[in-house]
Amino acid sequence: MRSHYCGQVDRSQLGEEIAVAGWVHRRRDHGGVIFVDLRDREGLLQVVFDPGDPDTFAEAERLRGEYVLAVRGRVRERPEGTVNPNMATGEVELEATELTVLNRANTPPFHHDEPAGEDLRLRYRYLDLRREDMQRNLRLRHAVARSIRGFLDDHGFVELETPVLTKTTPEGARDYLVPSRTHTGRFFALPQSPQLLKQLLMMSGFDRYYQIVKCFRDEDLRADRQPEFTQVDIETSFMDEEAIMAVMEDLVRHAFRTVLDVELPDPLPRLTYREATERYGTDAPDLRNPLVLTEVADLMRGVEFRVFAGPAADAGSRVAVLRLPGGADLSRGAIDGYTDLAARHGARGLAWIKVIDRAAGQLQSPILKFLPDEVVAAVLDRAGAESGDIVFFGAGKTQVVNDTLSAVRRQLGRDRGLIRDGWAPLWVVDFPLFQQDGEGGWTPSHHPFTAPLADDPVDLSADPGNTLSRAYDMVLNGTEIGGGSIRIHTPVMQSAVFELLGIGEAEANEKFGFLLQAMEYGCPPHGGIAFGLDRLVMLMAGADSIREVIAFPKTQTASDPLTGAPSPAGAAQLREVGIRLRRKG
């Protein structure tokens, strides 16, 4: 049926008789000669039907878009003046001698070359996947996964599978639960990650493990989130964080080199969590954006303007400024837009000062009357503000200020064309081990199996809020693509962490007894990382959403327009697993 792919036919086949197969991408009738651009996964080939063969020509006249064809013919040069430099096969064409219509097609709801809404694209995903962009994205995904597998195989990692039906454990999001028919009233959980199981594999002596694995989290969705996603899951024994990070840097550099022919920095730069949040307002900064935050709380202590003075005196708050070079030309409407953006991130407002002429002391702002001249001058000096700049202020609880100014920084970078081209990977390290849960307790910043920098459980309990973890995240262009840590490997430390998190002995044994017991049988020091394959490929493809690099994604409401999932279960199915539905309210 086929001897060549359409997109691979070139001058080397001139004069040969070949067979191709694919879909009608476009049909054109030019004065008695019919041209068909035939498409397969490798590209397009122009097929010519001449009226000298009446039967074949008559069949070609009935062709429509997306008909599935098999064509046999002779490869010839295109006539002078008709070469298409935009096609890989643009110097040749196929003079058809045989045509077989393998299947007809209805008129598609959208054309490959025309924009269509995402709902329509996902409803007819099998048609959407025929588009060149989607074919390229998914083949890129394949190349990335192949590159990662090859690197890990060459570095002594063993690919092992872990169960999809497992036990519910706290991983930071809701579990997807699966009722058991054979154990009425009990449930499996779909894994949020293979975290505990890969730790058990280290206790089993496999030393270096990896898996490209599906994970599931029932959480609110964003452009870089899906209810089911794919991660490159890795764990090692007898390696500290420096050794793990070195190998993982090499892994990512290898993937970029082999797939995109791009060389990433060696070594990757590093920021501590504190440095990242103080300078950029986020633990996943985009270093291509030159804008930075500057702390000015010390300058605001004692001023009469309570909007700044209050946060300046509060240990849990901050006052920071964000300087935009040349930003004094922003209109009041544009500033109002950034103020609305700040409000969506919890801020009560977004104060600002325009520096019209620094030397002449010509400033413009509604807050100048509330601040002493010497304080304003000190703030502008520290921010490095010059004539023509604008300085934005954030004041309040630290997290709100960070979220607000980080969002404004990102938007200003895009709006003002400040984000440079290229790739800006980095490591973020020295995360806090715990964060406050808002109810007087603690919750893990990553997960409860992350090792603290403190070696002694007594030191851990003395000051949990200032205890750092042995965790590390890899960030690329403002997106976290991988996160990992050295794990706790002694039952004493693991129990101490559980206790600080309010997990008592009985609850710990119920949820994690198998892990604690395994630690009693010779647990090696170990650590690992998980890379989000969807996010990584999204960035490498230059896409705006991970849905563009997943064959059959869900919508932002966690539904599938193609299959209609999730769908109701029948009464008999529910009875088998002992479930009865109740009406809400």
pLDDT tens, residue by residue, 144-182: 999 999 999 999 999 999 999 998 876 668 899 999 999
- Preceding peptide of 425 cis, ω within 30°: no
Is the pLDDT score of 31 beyond 80?
no
Give the pLDDT mean for 360-380. Answer: 96
The DSSP H or E segment spanning 356 is strand 352-357
Average pLDDT over every residue of 228-239: 98
Phi and psi at residue 201, to the nearest 5°: -65, -30
Per domain, the residue ranges of the chain are 6-103, 289-419
How far the first Cα of the chain sits from its last, in Å, is 61
Compute how many other C-beta atoms are within 10 angstroms of the C-beta atom of residue 434. 24
Give the confidence band of 111 by pLDDT, cuts at 50, 70, 90. Answer: confident
- Domain covering 289-419, topology: Gyrase A; domain 2 (3.30.1360)
What three-state secondary structure class fits 429? strand
Helix axes 398-415, 273-280, angle to 10 degrees: 60
Q: Report, as an integer, the average pLDDT of 65-87.
A: 95
Q: 281-329, pLDDT tens digit by residue?
A: 999 999 999 999 999 999 999 899 999 999 999 999 999 999 999 999 9
> Which runs of E-coded beta strand occur in 220-351?
228-237, 270-272, 293-295, 317-324
Peptide bond into 191 cis (omega under 30): no
Please report which residue ranges of 261-372 form alpha helices under DSSP H.
273-280, 297-300, 306-312, 332-344
Is residue 458 pLDDT above 90, yes or no? no
Kindly state the average pLDDT of the residues 82-92: 94
Angle between helix axes 491-500 and 505-519 (nearest 10 degrees) is: 160
Percent of the chain scored above 70 by pLDDT? 99
Single-letter amino acid code for the residue at 198: K
Bridge partner residues of 397 (DSSP): 317
Distance CA 208, CA 214 (A): 19
- Does 45 have pLDDT greater than 90? yes
**Each residue of 536-581: pLDDT tens digit?**
999 999 999 999 999 999 998 899 999 999 999 999 999 999 999 9
Identify whether the C-beta of residue 69 lies closer than 8 Å to the C-beta of residue 34. Answer: no
Q: Per-residue pLDDT tens for 272-291? A: 999 999 999 999 999 999 99
pLDDT given for residue 316 in this prediction: 93
pLDDT at 170: 63
Q: Is the pLDDT of residue 189 over 80?
A: yes
CA distance 408 to 336: 12
Q: Does the pLDDT at position 204 exceed 90?
A: yes
Band of pLDDT at residue 395, cut at 50, 70 and 90: very high
Instruction: Identify the CATH assignment for 6-103 out of 3.40.50.450, 2.40.50.140, 3.30.1280.10, 3.90.660.10.
Output: 2.40.50.140
pLDDT tens-digit profile of 480-511? 999 999 999 999 999 999 999 999 999 999 88
β-strands 317-324, 293-295 pairing:
antiparallel
**In angstroms, rounded to a whole number, what is the distance separating the alpha carbons of residues 403 and 503?**
30
pLDDT at 225: 84
